[in-house]
Amino acid sequence: MIAGRRGALARIGTLMAGGTLGAALPQRPARAQAIGKLREDGPKPLPAITLIDPEGKSRDIPSFAGKGIVLNLWATWCPPCVEEMPALDRLAALLAPEDILVIPASSDRNGRAQVEPFYTRAGIRNLGIWLDPKSAAMRALGARGLPTTILIDRQGRERGRLEGAAAWDGEALAADVRRLCGNGAA
């Protein structure tokens, strides 16, 4: 019990010294399935949201007309977010030829300066650094927590959402993404 408390105190000390919670926790293997359940919605219109793209420019959802989008709201301090990021990276590589984009929108206060070192440590190669300054998109979309993933069809409508971490590169979820965001989206 005391060793457990000491470990917890050490992790808290790491956080207070400027580390991230994801860096302080031991790495766990990816879950075989989602914690949350994919809830299919709509199709329903999206509120106006603006994100900062990897080049530092403002982008809104209509600027992606004709592409499916997996919009993942996350932060480096969120352990389930950190856990699912490698699966999202693999999903991005898998779906890129099908014009389905995986956009991980970070709400980290330090923006790119916080996300870029995390990507390097985690070996993330297929995802751009997207930012949700001041969590504006999170609020506009009514996300109740992180991670929250919104599936958007090629017409820019929400088709589904999943709250919690997921094994996004698993066959079942990848098939759901294709069905809801791909050419077959009705």
> Would you list the domain boundaries of the chain?
29-181
Query: Does 33 score more than 60 pLDDT?
Result: no
For 80, phi then psi, to 5°, come to: -65, -30
| CATH entry 3.40.30.10 includes domain 29-181 | yes
This prediction has a pTM of 0.81
Confidence band for 35, pLDDT divided at 50, 70 and 90: low
- Range with the lowest mean pLDDT among 40-44, 47-51, 53-57, 109-113? 40-44
